[in-house]
Structure 1
């Protein structure tokens, strides 16, 4: 039987929650996008030749942090666990801010590396925790009505954060920006604590733990051809992304010598990426998915990556690097990532939640780490940036092959589902 429609009072309360959640998401993503350019600068300060160690540190930290967060969530109601974890993030930022401009040069290098790893770990959990809580705050019907508003708040934050950083970076430098990010995340934490009072009131499972047992997700991943193919896609995606990221670090280090100017440049790249991605999401994503399915969208970034590597092999200079990175990241956010998430609708709920956690953390960061060491090995062999970009071309081509295979599977699955539906009509 259909449920009774919500009353006017319930809709009003739902609107208030959605507005509060949108403001929280704005603060969260604005804070992250203040931190992101700082992280890139910390990677350069920590030593471009040491980036592979930072990737290794990030991977090891992920393996340590996930069980710790799972332990915390298992012992606290989610409405308390999420703001508690966020408060710990804010405390970490305040410690970094207190130290960064007060330590000596050698300690500054160490701290830069710690901050780089910390931000890389933070961004893997903060948004997942936010949406986990939102699933408890809103009913299924309410989420369909209001999550668009919440997501819009995040999109505004993803634009506001880089805009703020681009305006402040050259005059303030990275240190004070950590305090700006801490203030924004504090605002998000207070809002989430307030929203948490409604967790479970719409039928959500507030006391439950997030994710699942690690070995269950890994076992399901190894058993499923579809999940193995998705994992292969992710490994090749991270390989291409890491090669381009290392090219970026080397080119920017050589072209821009002031730390404030570098931080501002990274913020401007984030701003351009997010504006372009938002425009594509608003104007193209849904229509392209309806017309072409996921196959074309999955192929979009591998094809662009091949073009980007060719361009960098010919001219490894700043203007080419910026154009390649902005276009590639925007198309990934707007087209390829939604298509990738659609692939998980074709697997079981257990595979969707448990194995996805493994793919999004261990496989993703593991691919990052292996690719970082591959880049370091190529530079040790004496290859320059042009030659390494040329090495990236066949990797991107292989990635395109996996994307094409996944797209064909998704198209076939959709056709089978449509045939089954027609047969049962």
Structure 2
């Protein structure tokens, strides 16, 4: 079976769907991916906010900390983020080896098959109540969220040109947001009836559907590469397993992008940790905290969907990526200024909703359009390194920064956040200067 490369996209969702058949499969792919993740996200969040370390960590780890005079319940997030970062350092070279040695038709399905197998393993762990399953699941969810989504956006840059990406990424993001809506609803409706273990199987079903979408979309990626005489993704990229990190060190645009992600994640981590501290004080019941995080997720997704359908495409198509990168920074500065003056729990939740929604609906699609204009080494290696090692390195760094600032109270956390937000906005300006030097379409 063959497929023609996507044509330029007309305005409006109907026109886009008629003229760009791969858009349907891209939307279904992202819908299933985020549905599968958001089914499990409230479980992860409740574990991270738990005041009881025995609900998360294995007994031997709790005993080890206790023997060294450390109360593990005071460092739950810091320990989790430290371990996640170390896991990323191990997995990034492995991922680099896979994308270097195997063609797209092999490594794309392999990534999702790996995550499906892991979910089947977690079904057994949760079904049998193995101690320490909470910590293992938190690690897996953090890795899955970054690698699976990073692979998705890299693949989209194989399918769509820069012009098409600016026209359709808002719609693709909206489809993912609908999936992110569905996930918490499924969890709320089913968790009491079928239990956490069976939610793993529900998520695995969504990821299996992603494999079918990958197979279909690969046809258009191949057609695009043949039509425009681009380097084929059906052959291995070659190179070193550490090429991604080397590219970031060498290329100014990638350095600015890494700095932008570093401080952007830093903002989110400060806010996430402060919110977790508040939830830990207000809710002692895991079910109540899970319900709270489900409501926050639903609010984030509602605002994200409104922005994606009403603003993202218009901004990217008419004004390029600059507004989409800068608006979140200025909004966060305003939000953190309010919190520094009055850090009320409800305001923290509202700023969290605004921060995450602006990242998902504006900043993330804007950053991803850049990768339609660069070669595959940048997309699959450097892009993945930024989305994994840099991302989790920022999580680790700012989890400990939060721990230090929190000693002086919530006001200090949000004043520190203002400094980080200013640095993020500065990095956005630096990225925009380098982005202007790129050609209109990616070289291969």
Question: TM bucket by the smaller chain?
Answer: 0.7 to 0.9
| Residue 183 (1) aligns with residue 188 (2) | no
How far did 1:339 drift? Answer: 3.1
Contact kept, 8 Å, 2:48 with 2:77, in 1: the verdict is yes
Q: 1:240 to 1:313 in 2, by over 3 A?
A: same
Contact kept, 8 Å, 1:213 with 1:354, in 2: the verdict is no
Contact kept, 8 Å, 1:174 with 1:263, in 2: the verdict is no
Aligned partners of 2:149, 2:123: CA distance in 1, in Å? 22
Aligned partners of 2:133, 2:183: CA distance in 1, in Å? 23
The residue number in structure 2 matching 1:195 is 216
Aligned partners of 2:32, 2:274: CA distance in 1, in Å? 31
- Find the partner of 1:58 among 71, 80, 84: 84
What are the within-5 Å matches in structure 2 for residues 78-93 of structure 1?
78-93=104-119
Q: 1:377 to 1:295 in 2, by over 3 A?
A: same
Q: 1:38 to 1:233 in 2, by over 3 A?
A: same
The residue number in structure 2 matching 1:9 is none
Q: 1:394 to 1:24 in 2, by over 3 A?
A: closer
**As a proportion of its length, which structure holds more helix?**
1
SS state at 1:374 partner: helix
The residue number in structure 2 matching 1:156 is 178
| Residue 383 (1) aligns with residue 411 (2) | no
Greater mean alpha carbon deviation, residues 366-375 or residues 78-87: 78-87
Aligned partners of 1:79, 1:299: CA distance in 2, in Å? 36
Greater mean alpha carbon deviation, residues 49-58 or residues 82-91: 82-91
Aligned partners of 1:317, 1:75: CA distance in 2, in Å? 52
Aligned partners of 2:369, 2:22: CA distance in 1, in Å? 27
What are the within-5 Å matches in structure 2 for residues 119-158 of structure 1?
119-130=141-152, 153-158=175-180
The residue number in structure 2 matching 1:68 is 94
How far did 1:192 drift? Answer: 4.5
Per-residue CA deviation, residues 147-197 of structure 1 (Å, 9 max, x unaligned), is 8876664343222223322434466664443332223223334x2475388
The RMSD of aligned alpha carbons is 3.9
Aligned partners of 1:401, 1:200: CA distance in 2, in Å? 35
Aligned partners of 1:168, 1:64: CA distance in 2, in Å? 35
SS state at 1:213 partner: coil
Q: Taking structure 2 as the reference length, what is the TM-score of the superposition?
A: 0.75
The residue number in structure 1 matching 2:13 is none
How far did 1:330 drift? Answer: 0.9
How far did 1:244 drift? Answer: 0.7
Is there any run of 5+ residues in structure 2 with no aligned partner, and where? 8-16, 51-55, 57-72, 226-231
Contact kept, 8 Å, 1:166 with 1:265, in 2: the verdict is no
Aligned partners of 2:172, 2:256: CA distance in 1, in Å? 32
Aligned partners of 1:358, 1:262: CA distance in 2, in Å? 33
What are the within-5 Å matches in structure 2 for residues 344-423 of structure 1?
351=378, 354-379=381-406, 382-407=407-432, 409=433, 413=436
What are the within-5 Å matches in structure 2 for residues 253-332 of structure 1?
253-289=280-316, 293-332=320-359
SS state at 1:202 partner: helix
Contact kept, 8 Å, 1:139 with 1:202, in 2: the verdict is no
Aligned partners of 1:17, 1:296: CA distance in 2, in Å? 27
Per-residue CA deviation, residues 239-297 of structure 1 (Å, 9 max, x unaligned), is 21111110111111222232223223222222221221121122112333466554443
Contact kept, 8 Å, 1:313 with 1:390, in 2: the verdict is yes
In the alignment of these two chains, the number of paired residues is 400
The residue number in structure 2 matching 1:422 is none
SS state at 1:383 partner: coil
How far did 1:329 drift? Answer: 1.0
Aligned partners of 1:93, 1:386: CA distance in 2, in Å? 40
Is there any run of 5+ residues in structure 1 with no aligned partner, and where? 7-11, 419-425
Q: Taking structure 1 as the reference length, what is the TM-score of the superposition?
A: 0.78
SS state at 2:75 partner: helix
Aligned partners of 1:15, 1:287: CA distance in 2, in Å? 18
Q: 1:317 to 1:152 in 2, by over 3 A?
A: closer
Contact kept, 8 Å, 2:262 with 2:394, in 1: the verdict is yes
Q: 1:378 to 1:193 in 2, by over 3 A?
A: closer
Contact kept, 8 Å, 1:305 with 1:396, in 2: the verdict is yes
